[in-house]
Each structure stands twice: as structure tokens, then as C-alpha cells.
Chain A
Amino acid sequence: MESGGGARRGRMVIDPKVRQVGFVTPGEQDGPAGVSSSSAQVNAPDSPAPVMIPPAPRVAVPAAADHSPPKPAAPVPIPPRSPPLPPRNFDAEDEMPLGSYNPGGEGVLAGSPNSSYGKASSEKAEIGDLSPTMVAELNSSMMEMSLERSKYELPVPEKENESTADVISERVEVPAINNNEGPENDARQRKLKDRTSKAERRALQESQRAAKEAARASAAVAKAKPPPQKKDGSNEKKGVDKKPVDKSGEKDKKKEVVVPEKDKRKDAPAPRLQFDDEQKVAKARRRAIVEQTTETKHRVELFRHLPQFVPPTQLQALEEKYLQNDTMHIHPAVYQVGLKYLTWDIVGGNARCVAMLEAFKEMIRDYTTPPQKVMSRDLTAKINSHVSFLSTCRPLSISMGNAIRSFKLKIGKLRDTLTEAEAKSSLVSHLETFAQEKIILADKEIVKHAVTKIIDGDVVLTHGFSCVVEMVLSHAHSIGKKFRVVVVDSRPRLEGRILLRSLLAQGLKCTYTHINAVTYIMQEVTKVFLGAASILANGTVYSRVGTAAAAMVAHGYRVPVMICCETYKFHERVQLDSICSNELGDPDALVGVAGRKEFRELVGWDESEHLRLLNLTYDATPADYVSMIITEHGMVPPTSVPVILREYRKEPIL
């Protein structure tokens, strides 16, 4: 309303006359030709009034000059990438559906994890920066791999030493095995162990059980009271995981004699493990598959209910426990995917979900029912252990959680009359259909709807990197709409650079700024397109940290905010803030700044008693800031999310 007038009304002005938003640090000024000659405006760092300097003559980015012909993954561990072929004809992408979300079709299975780590430490010197694999997989024309990544890499200093902590892998979600699924899963984990070392433990337990039962019963009742308070916060946290837990918990119950204490806790809906409950944390630690060392002295108190980030030195332990332990046998495909999550090689709700579904397909294909076991139950147990492995590597995203729920339902519904081969093929086709319908085709529909909202002369702002938003912008450009893009980025992951590269390669006019400048740049923006990790029942958008800020500023400038999100990511829970549920990232990622070797102020932060670093992964954008949500079913207001959940999820997912 206030400043909405002038700059924004000049919609027909494609070439911005006042442009120099010079947030370029000195080191990056001499970037490779491909970047600096593009529309991303670069400015002399010391010029006092960036706004007044006329734009540098824009050199059209040579469209296909640098692209090698698409070739599938060579036996290179990290699939290097080349920019996509612009301008992309949208229909041409039909040939390459699933790969969009994978680091190259075979990428999931090709290349050993170990070598990717070796490479990772040397190449991924930047904090959470454009690792070639991240760039690769987030690009729609995934199949092309070439070694020309370096051309597009913004200059990055050698910072291996300072930021190795996060380089090897972002985190190992150690207690997640237990905490993500609550005491129910604890019970199940314990049962798995019972099965394996039954003889040894049974005798001991039997004798102790009678004695403990009475004491436990009263204690459990007392415990049932305090959990409700935490439960209200924790129930909403990842309700996703509770459902699979409930279902499999019930199945396993029939199979085994259950300790009464477990029964009691099963009756009460499983609360999420809150890390500020000392007793439960201690219990979880005892049962933890991998040793966890909650660094309590580095913990931010406000977030102590969330699983703390654990540096990936746990990787060794992880390997030992999971690979050498025969009973916890993890299928290699799932193992690879898990490791890619660990290193943040695969990021983004869609990419992670698709990779996981692919891995599960492999797993199902290789699965044989052990003798004397019912397929559906055994398979569910196996899926559970795989899922807990994946959540150890990195907490499950909501999209993954929904997919797993739907898959387990399908397993549960398998008719007994089917032969194993039929059942397996039915499951594999379910996974295929899920990925195809809910993700790939849904994205195409979303693009179709979203593109109608972009008109000539628009200035479109986006934050970070959402694969759907990238598709929308590409398609709009390919059908000839004249608009320009503002990419807002934020530390420490700086994911916006991937999007920037991709758009520049297609010839879009882009502006790149940091989140600090969003209030400034919003004056010229006409529309905001954002992606989401999930949308909750009250219309709250759960997305990469920084999205809420961009949406809020847009709302303040009365710029419409469009969220592009597939319906499979919708979730029934409600979240009012970004605190009760989130993912904590590596605090060390905040220490260094790309391009500024001399920035050493925060080094040694962990020795200070007064300083804590907090690196959040997600934030929650209230529904008030959202103008519309673009789903495959059309454009809906944020108030209609529960309607879609109700109408299109008559059976929970699918």
C-alpha cells in the first residue's frame, strides 16, 4: 500500500533502470565470465550509492555453448553436473520424468558411498554449498553429467580446514531411531533385540518381570500424566511417524508376548521423545543403536526438546552397527540413499522422497519372505528398520513420512491369496505409481496452473531453491513470458545459487540478493513464488528457514505470495511456531563465511560458556501471509488445506 506504487507499477519495463543491488563481496567480483556477464548485477563493492549506477551491459548468456551432450552417469562417484539445456520445452521433459529428482538416474545406486565421501571432503569445501551432487539433482534435466561444473562455480576459497566438520556429512541423527517414533518404536526396537537374542534375555526378563511389574504399573500411570503436557507439543511434531508406528506396533503385538509396561505405554498415544525429559533420554541412550553424545553444553535451551545435531563422527559406529549386524541388515540401495541424506547430497522434499522410493523398490525386488514368516508382517518390520536407519542419517521429511505411511498401508492391505511374486510386483507398482502420480505428474499440473499467474512484465521473487518453483519459472520462460526473477538466498546453505545458475543458463534475467536485502528488493517485486516442505492443516507453510521472512515482507508490501506444493506433502498436524518442531543443523556451519577467509570471529565458539550457535533448517509461515497455494488440484486458498486432506485422502494417502 505505502510504497506499492511507483516502481512496481512500471510493469512493462523489462529492463530495470535502477538495478545495482550490490551485495557482492570483493572476492566474488571476478567470478567466471558465465556469471558476471549474466544479468546478475555485480557492483564495485565500495560504491556509495549502488542504486544510481546504470546497469552493466547485459551480455546474453550463450545458450548452449557450454553444454556437453547429455550423458548418463559415468562411473564417477559424485555425478558432476552441467547446466540444463535452455530453453526447455516443457513437453520434452516428459522423456525424463523420474530422474528430475535423482542425481542422475542410476545415481542412487551408482558410485560407492565411500568414494563419495573422499571426494566430498575435498570438493565440498564450502559450507553446505553447491556440492556438485546437490546441484545435479536439483536440476530438472538430471541425466546430463559433465565436468563443467567448475565454470559456474562462484569463486570459493579453500576452506577445507575450517569447515570440515560439516563437510563430511551434515549430521547423524543418532537418537532418531528411538525418538522419532516414540516409546512405541522403543518397544519395537526392544522386541527386535528380543527376537535376536531371545534365549539370553528371556530368562533374565521373565524373572525380573514379575517383580518389576507392580512397580512399573504405577510408575507408568504416573508417567501417563506428564506426557500429555509434552504430548500436546510433541504429538504435533511428527505425527507422521506415529501412524506407521501404531500400525506395526499392533501387528507385532499379536506376534509376541509383550511386557505389560509396553502395553500400558501403547495404550496412551505415543508421545514424541522430548529431549528435556531426563529419564526418557537416559532410557533412549541405553537402547540407542549408535552411541550418542548429546553435547549438552552447546545446546540452545529453547530447542532442547529437539534432537541435537551430532557431528558425523558417528559414521563409523553407524557402519558397524548396520552393516555388520546381520539381523539389522540394511539393503545396499537404502544404505546408499541414507548416506546421501547424511551428506546432504540429496536435499529437497521431492528429491529425498523419490530417492527413497527408488531404494525401496530395489529392496522389494530383492526381498524374499523368510520361512515361517508372514510376508506382510516381516516386510513391515524390515521397512521399519530401514526407515529408522534413514531417519538416523537425517530426520525424515514430511513428504517421506507420508510416502512411507501410504506404503505401509498398502503392505497391510495385501491379500493373503497373492503369491510372493504377485505381492512384490504389486508393491513395486504402488511405489512407482506414488512417485509418478503424486510427485511427477503433480508437479506438471502445478506448473500448468502457476504459469497462468505470471504475466509479461512481472518481477518474480523466490527464496532458496524449490524444484517446483524452478520448473514453473523455466516453463513460463520457455513459453515466452517476459519477466525477471529475483533470487533471495540465505546462509549457511546458500541454496539459491543452484537456482540462480539454472535460471541463468536458460537465459532468464535474474537478480541475486541476500535475505537481508529482501525488504529493499520487495519494492520492485510483483509476485512471490515459494516452495514448501509441507503445508499443515491450519494453512501454515513449513519450509526452508528464511521463507517466512520473505513471505512476511511480501505481505507487508502487499505482494501476493504463491506457494507451490504437491498435495502429498500436506499434513494434518498444526504448528503455530517454528520452535516446537524443527530440525537442528550443524552449528559449525555458521562459523565460516564463503569468500571471507579472514572471518574468524566465531572460531572456537564451543569453548565459550556464553555463546551458542543455532542453525535451524525449517520455519513456519503463518497462513495470513499466503495468498494462494498452487496444488495439482488447482489453486486454493490456505484455508482449504483441511478440505483437500479430507476430500483427497479418503484413505490416508492415495
Chain B
Amino acid sequence: MDEGYANLPTSHLLGSVPAVTPEERKPAGPAEAATSRLQQFPPAPGATGGGYQPPGSPLDGDVETQTNWKGYFNVASYAPYFNVDTDVVVDRLISSVYPMDGFFRKIDANPDMYGPLWITTTLIFMLAAFGNFATYLMQRKTDLNIWNFDVGYFNWAATVMYGYAIVVPAAFFFLFQYFGSRPSLVRFWCMWGYSLFIFIPASILLLIPVEFLRWVIIAGAGGASSWFIALNLKECTEGADMMVLIASASVLQFALALFIKVFFFA
């Protein structure tokens, strides 16, 4: 079953366009195939027949070398990471808010990149927009009329959020590998991405112009997020001697929460 996708009969007809395989035919199928396929990132092109398939190369023989680097530029090779439906995504979002909900078990078979991508993008917009709005409300309280929309918030938000969501899981992936455990980069990205979801409702609540309340809210959100990271890291690496790494991951998450409060919602 795992080799099913590579051995689709149409894969051997190089130069022809394989038939589009409908998504709803295999509700449980992607789970099994995905387990093996999604260990390495990125997968080779032509891995699945889902949806979009560019025409194969007419040249035979060097398919092997082709798959090594052309997989990076091929849209179809990333399609397995977006193989989720609306209800699946909503379910994962909700379970990311309650740290004890067994999130890692849910994404283990089918980690998706849709969540992290759009959660970070939404968060960027929210931070920039509500950060500006919150600064405006605070300045109105002190009766100053010099508030200007600071478009730099968009740039800062984009840099910080995309940088955090991409670099931190990758760094921890390498650290975990160095210390002997066997993590999976895609699952790390997926998990860290979903851990940022709680900051979206938090940033809405941070509009309240009461300073003490803001600190309480951000501490709550940061704490929940760090706890989520710690629990899921522990579950996926199953190692008791990784405590230092897990602790540092939680601390980093809390530091992000503080940064959000200090920079955007001053």
C-alpha cells in the first residue's frame, strides 16, 4: 500500500498525463501512504496522483537524478502536505488550544502544512492590524492626537512570525537529532505552527486598553502555548533526557508571547 503511489500504472507512461485520481476515493488511503512518504521532506515528484500533475519528462533514464532536486520546484510534490479537509483542520485548531487533547496523535499520520502557513499569515495580519488599533486606543486615553498608522508593523510581524515558525522548529529538529532522538521535521513544523493559533484570539483580546489585563492575557496565552509545545515534544520524542531541549522550547515560546505584547501592543 505504501508503494501504491509510486507504482501507479500511469507513472510508467512517461510523457503522458496521468488521470486525476479523485480525492474522495481514499479516505483512509492517504493516512497509510502518507506515513511512509512523508518521512523525508520534500518527497519526490510524482509521489501522488492527487489533483495537479504536470506532464512527465519525455526523456527516460535519468528519472532518478531528476527526482532529487526537481522535487523542490514542483507544486505536485508538496500536495501531500495539504491533504486535509475543513473539518480536520478545525479539529486540529481546537485541540491546539487545550494542551491536553492529544494533538500529536492527530497529526502523526497526516501532518499538514496548511495550518502553519495560514495561521502564521493570519497572525501577521492580526498583529499588525490590532497592534496599530491598540496603540491608537491607548493614545486616545492620554488625549494625544499624534497617532499615525505604522505600516512598519506589517514588516516586523512578517519577519518575526515567519522567521520563528520556520527557523525554530528546524533548529530543534537538528538539536534533537544531534542528541539521538528521531524526530520528523514536517511534524515539528506542523506542531509549532498550530501552537501559534492561540495567539490569534489573544491578540483580539489584547485590544482591551487596560494594561494589567493585557499582561494577564498574554501570560495566559504564552503559558498555554508553551505547555502545548512541551507536552507534544515529550510525546513525539519519548525521551526523558531531552528535558533541557523541551524546557528551552517552552521558554522560547513564552518569550515570543512577551515579545508580541511588548512590541505590538505597547
A, B assembled together: no
Residues of B within 8 A of A (CB): none
